[in-house]
Structure 1
């Protein structure tokens, strides 16, 4: 082991080992990719601090390679063009790591506060809501008018919303029917 970064890369790959990958089914490729990303989100949320490592490395360990191979097999089997599939591996990893790392920052703030998670988050977002409601409606009509919508969704719901947008964009690159052509 050369340095701290190498150790973190090993830990990162070990965490990735908890992610279950499906056997690719071209008929269910989009659903399978969504399930795989949600599984990654679940695992990284449980180890949120390590998500920071994923923002500064390209996984080359056995578990990272296993997941990348599965993602490619799923996408290529579903007819996603090879270049699009290759780029999407990076984008999906960035999306998962960014979201779970942000979550880890909230957890750090919660721990530092000494409050339980529910109390901390309720108080934190309550303060944000109060602030937005106090904004002058003439200057910020959309923020004030949409405060309920802005505050309504929680972390997982927001993650799923963003993932669905990414996957719809990915699906727009598929012409007709599954194929394994490269």
Structure 2
């Protein structure tokens, strides 16, 4: 049997020595700026090189390809997520809540991430993602969860947060492309929603009762409600 080679990863490959004019950190930071400004469709190695005033070939000395760049930028923005250290066993829930809100805020700051999470390969090996998971394991462990169940709890909570965050990011992207702010967009959409819900009595009743609520507050309330349900369930699993 031929020797099996390990799967390569951006996180374990030896880094090139920093050149005076360019570094991987600079490339990743500029890629994040480009993604924030113009979205994932704009991110190509050629476009990024032009943005940085260099040829795409210079970028390939530090980043193997676009897929690897996606892994690097995802890990970069995950570095924005805050996970508070628990002061006591009773603080696990407050810590997880704060972390969940931080993840959601990161997604809403970088809505392009909704388009790339299915392309990130081995991003879970990135230092910021690993630091996030390590600290969250510590939070759950402080609350009395064993390591296996703590890992499962993290997966469940993160799946909820990322899922609802991506839905919000998609909505906010549509609003941004309209050139309006959220309040004006919601006001213009309201007559359309009212007309569309007329054949559906339960939806019509709900819209009539709550259709004038601020969309931003509705998003906040929905997120907090769902997160609370998850944590209520996990509370019953503590040792």
Q: What's the TM-score bracket when you normalise by the shorter of the two chains?
A: 0.7 to 0.9
Matches within 5 A, 1:44-63: 44-55=107-118, 57=120, 59-63=124-128
Deviation >4 Å, runs of 4+: 55-58, 148-153
Contact 1:12–1:50, Cα closer than 8 Å, also in 2: yes
Where is the helix percentage greater, Structure 1 or Structure 2?
1
Residue among 132, 148, 171 paired with 1:67: 132
Is the counterpart of residue 40 in structure 1 residue 103 in structure 2?
A: yes
* Cα 1:18–1:125 shift into 2, 3 Å: farther
Q: For residues 163 and 5 of structure 1, what CA distance do their matches in structure 2 show?
A: 32
Q: What is the CA deviation profile of residues 44-82 of structure 1, one whole-angstrom value per residue up to 9, with x for unaligned ones?
A: 211121244335545221111111011111111101233
Match of 1:179 in 2: none
Question: For 2:163, what is the secondary structure of its paired residue?
Answer: helix
Q: For residues 52 and 94 of structure 1, what CA distance do their matches in structure 2 show?
A: 16
Match of 2:142 in 1: 77
**Could you state the TM-score of these two structures normalised by the residue count of structure 2?**
0.63
Q: What is the CA deviation profile of residues 104-132 of structure 1, one whole-angstrom value per residue up to 9, with x for unaligned ones?
A: 22223223323333211332355224422
Deviation for aligned residue 1:13? 0.9
CA RMSD of aligned residues (A): 2.3
Residue among 224, 228, 233 paired with 1:160: 224
**Could you state the TM-score of these two structures normalised by the residue count of structure 1?**
0.80
Mark the structure with the bigger radius of gyration: 2
* Cα 1:107–1:143 shift into 2, 3 Å: closer
Matches within 5 A, 1:9-158: 9-25=71-87, 26-55=89-118, 57=120, 59-132=124-197, 134-135=198-199, 140-148=200-208, 151=211, 152=213, 154-158=218-222
What count of residue pairs does the alignment treat as equivalent?
Answer: 170
Match of 2:234 in 1: 170
Contact 1:54–1:97, Cα closer than 8 Å, also in 2: no
Q: For residues 55 and 11 of structure 1, what CA distance do their matches in structure 2 show?
A: 14
Q: For residues 158 and 177 of structure 2, what CA distance do their matches in structure 1 show?
A: 28
Q: For residues 144 and 24 of structure 1, what CA distance do their matches in structure 2 show?
A: 45
Q: For residues 220 and 118 of structure 2, what CA distance do their matches in structure 1 show?
A: 20
Question: For 1:18, what is the secondary structure of its paired residue?
Answer: coil
Choose between structure 1 and 2 for higher RCO, CA contacts under 8 A separated by at least 6 residues: 1
Structure 1 gap segments, 5+ residues each: 176-182
